[in-house]
Amino acid sequence: MPTVKDVAKRAGVSVATVSRVLNNSNKVSEETRQKVLKAIEELGFKPNLLARNFRRDKSNLILVILPTIANAYFARVVKGIEDTARKYGYGILLCTTGNSPEIASDYLKLIERKQVDGAIIASAKISKDALLEIDPKKIVQACEFYPFLDTSCVLIDHKKAFFEIVDYLIKKGKKNILCAIGNEGIPSEEERKEGYRQALEKNGMEFKEENIIRCRYGSTEIYEKLKTLICSKKYDAVACSSDLMAVGAIKAAKAVGLKIPDEFAVTGFDNIMISRLYEPSITTVAQPMYEIGEKATEILISSLENNSFSKERVILPHDIKTRESA
């Protein structure tokens, strides 16, 4: 295993400088920092996690609060968090809340107790009260932004992304497009609904509340709801808020006997692996999942290590992946 000395040698700097980079100190020039990070990568150096804990009143652990791990979306976001945290000598601990704000509050207590240094809240539902006592520099929101929480955040422009994919469906000639989104109370879902509305409006189509299907992100609920709705042959597409919903929608269209995408087109959201593997492969919005995790972690570690807080709102670019389903 390469040591910090090997890194220093390869980068042509002192051990103290490597240490400063690992501690994310701002006393290092960007050029030097890049040299050290390059050496770390080339050597496959892994800082001894948690080892620095004893020197300072720090755990060198970051808590990641997720609604669930049963979604490949979060696995990619977490990978971005993990790789970045490790680069700076932090370990990460994950906890899942099943979207219960009470459970999220319980876990946030680990910050007060100094069992973790800070937390990344990735999509998990949270209540304002839970954060009242917590220093905002110790929290970053990722994927989702609850505006009542005064923290930095990293996410995509959900409204614009949904606007674009609905606009794409319209350009493909679709005239009666359903919109399948998550249950109420999640800000990004309301953003996406607004994107859907604006795309219809821009193309001179009428928005109808009844064309909004609210359901869970999995494939089962949408399958049931859609099967009933689409046998009327009134609809020719559905824009879904997750790739698993899109799988359920494709199954429903097949069950009813509609040809995909000619008679019924389906789009997903996120670009998780199944959207590429499924047959037909699924046209979807690619979220930069890994990069969201990466950036959120960089912001958090930087404010923890510099002990300073500047509220950042980072919007990362998304991308439309056109495949067979639409």
Give the interface with its own copies as residue ranges (CB under 8 A). Answer: 1, 46, 48-50, 59, 63, 68-72, 74-76, 78-79, 82, 91-96, 100, 102-103, 106-107, 109-110, 115, 219, 247, 251, 273-274, 277-279
Contact assessment for residue 174 and residue 141, using Cβ atoms and an 8 Å cutoff: no
Q: What values do phi and psi take at 89, rounded to 5?
A: 85, 20
Which two tokens mark 245? 């919903």
Q: Which is nearer to its own copies, 128 or 175 (CB)?
A: 128
Cβ neighbours of residue 10 closer than 8 Å, sequence gap 6 or more: 39, 42, 43
Contact assessment for residue 293 and residue 141, using Cβ atoms and an 8 Å cutoff: no
Gap between the Cα atoms of 146 and 127, Å rounded: 9
Contact assessment for residue 69 and residue 96, using Cβ atoms and an 8 Å cutoff: yes
Q: Which is nearer to its own copies, 52 or 160 (CB)?
A: 52
| Minimum CB distance to its own copies, residue 44 (Å) | 11
| Minimum CB distance to its own copies, residue 98 (Å) | 8
Q: Which is nearer to its own copies, 195 or 248 (CB)?
A: 248
Can you tell me which residue has the tokens 């990460």?
92
Q: 4-11 vs 30-43: helix axis angle to the nearest 10?
A: 120
Q: Which is nearer to its own copies, 161 or 282 (CB)?
A: 282
Helix or strand run (H / E) with residue 92: strand 91-96
Cβ neighbours of residue 267 closer than 8 Å, sequence gap 6 or more: 165, 168, 169, 237, 238, 239, 240, 246, 282, 283, 284, 285, 325, 326
Q: Which is nearer to its own copies, 70 or 315 (CB)?
A: 70
Q: Which is nearer to its own copies, 110 or 300 (CB)?
A: 110
| Minimum CB distance to its own copies, residue 157 (Å) | 26
| Minimum CB distance to its own copies, residue 286 (Å) | 17
CA angle in degrees (0–180, nearest 5) for 19-84-310: 85
| Minimum CB distance to its own copies, residue 35 (Å) | 25
| Minimum CB distance to its own copies, residue 67 (Å) | 12
Q: Which is nearer to its own copies, 230 or 289 (CB)?
A: 289
| Minimum CB distance to its own copies, residue 306 (Å) | 25
Q: Which is nearer to its own copies, 115 or 308 (CB)?
A: 115
Single out the residue of 216, 224, 264 nearest to residue 244, CA to CA: 216
| Minimum CB distance to its own copies, residue 277 (Å) | 6
Looking at this protein, which amino acid is placed at residue 273? Answer: M
Helix or strand run (H / E) with residue 65: strand 61-66
Can you tell me which residue has the tokens 């370990």?
91
